[in-house]
Homo-oligomer: A and B are copies of this chain.
Amino acid sequence: MNKVIETIYAHRSVRSFTKEQLTEEQIKTLVKAAQSAATSSYLQAYSIIGVKDQDKKNRLAEIAGNQSYVAENGHFFVFCADLNRLKVAGDMEGKESITSIESTEKFMVSVVDASLAAQNLVLAAESMGLGICYIGGIRNDSEAVSDLLKLPDHVIPLYGVCVGYPERTPGQKPRLPMESVYFEDEYEQNPEVLKQHLENYNETISTYYKERTNGKRSAGWTALMAEKLANPVRLYMKRFLQKKGFPLK
């Protein structure tokens, strides 16, 4: 196994960092890694906001559901879907761009572009001995985050990434069995087969939690997921997107 695959396999979400801040050089190394990712049709439809201001970090931590590591880390990046830069490009050339920009297709492209970049940044960080944690919790109030970071129309925050020196290195959570995720030539057509995989996975997860909690917790994956799904979150998202110039036409 080479160093890259080793780094990829070793991923875990770190939720406790020392006070040491990333240097400017480290930040540049990471942003360059992000920018090295593939991008759909050369659009590069994302931006990254590095948050240094402690008041802003505290506010982001609060929005994310009082996750202290959002305020306390080596650096906090917010990844944004950005179609504003492309709007500016169209305007500079005197060309109409709004039909493209307002399309569901370009929204998808911007989310994909941002996420390929983010994962590059994350792996670069992990290869440098840093820990990371994605923070979807900033979408608890995307409008407040937009205001805080002064995002213009056609730019929305997707998630944060905490980066820093790990204070504790947590364990890894077992992933779905490969046969639940990877299929050849066609999707699994028999729902009973999918269910059987998930039942096997429930055993794995249940054992995992029992061992880590001295038997106090033993839910399987489907129970955890069903519980989450039964409590829908962030149902304001469509309204927010429309307001910010992403009508998903």
Question: Which A residues contact B (CB, under 8 angstroms)?
Answer: 2-5, 7-9, 11, 13, 27-29, 31-38, 40-44, 46-53, 56, 80, 85-86, 88-90, 92-97, 99-101, 103-105, 108-109, 111-112, 115-116, 118-120, 122-124, 126-128, 132-134, 136, 139, 149-152, 155, 158-159, 173, 175-176, 178, 180-187, 189, 191, 194-195, 198-199, 221-235, 237-238, 241, 248-249
User: Which residues in B have their C-beta under 8 angstroms from that of A199?
Assistant: 92
Q: Could you pull out 20 A-B pairs where Cβ atoms are within 8 angstroms? A: A4-B124, A8-B123, A13-B38, A37-B119, A38-B133, A40-B134, A50-B185, A52-B184, A89-B198, A92-B199, A100-B233, A103-B235, A104-B248, A105-B139, A108-B158, A111-B112, A112-B115, A123-B123, A150-B189, A151-B187
Which residues of B sit under 8 angstroms from A133, Cβ to Cβ?
38
Task: State in angstroms the CA–CA spacing of A119 and B7 once bound together.
Answer: 13
What residues of B have a CB within 8 angstroms of the CB of A27 in the complex? 182
Question: Do residues B127 and A43 form an inter-chain contact, with CB atoms below 8 A?
Answer: no
A32-B47 contact, Cβ under 8 Å, with A85-B180, A227-B95: no
Q: Which of B49, B120, B249 contacts A123 (CB 8 A)?
A: B120
* Chain B residues whose CB sits within 8 angstroms of the CB of A122 once the complex forms: 38, 116
- In the bound assembly, the distance between CA atoms of A127 and B134 in angstroms comes to 24
Say yes or no: B3 contacts A32, CB within 8 Å: no
The complex places the Cα of A238 from the Cα of B104 at a distance, in Å, of: 6
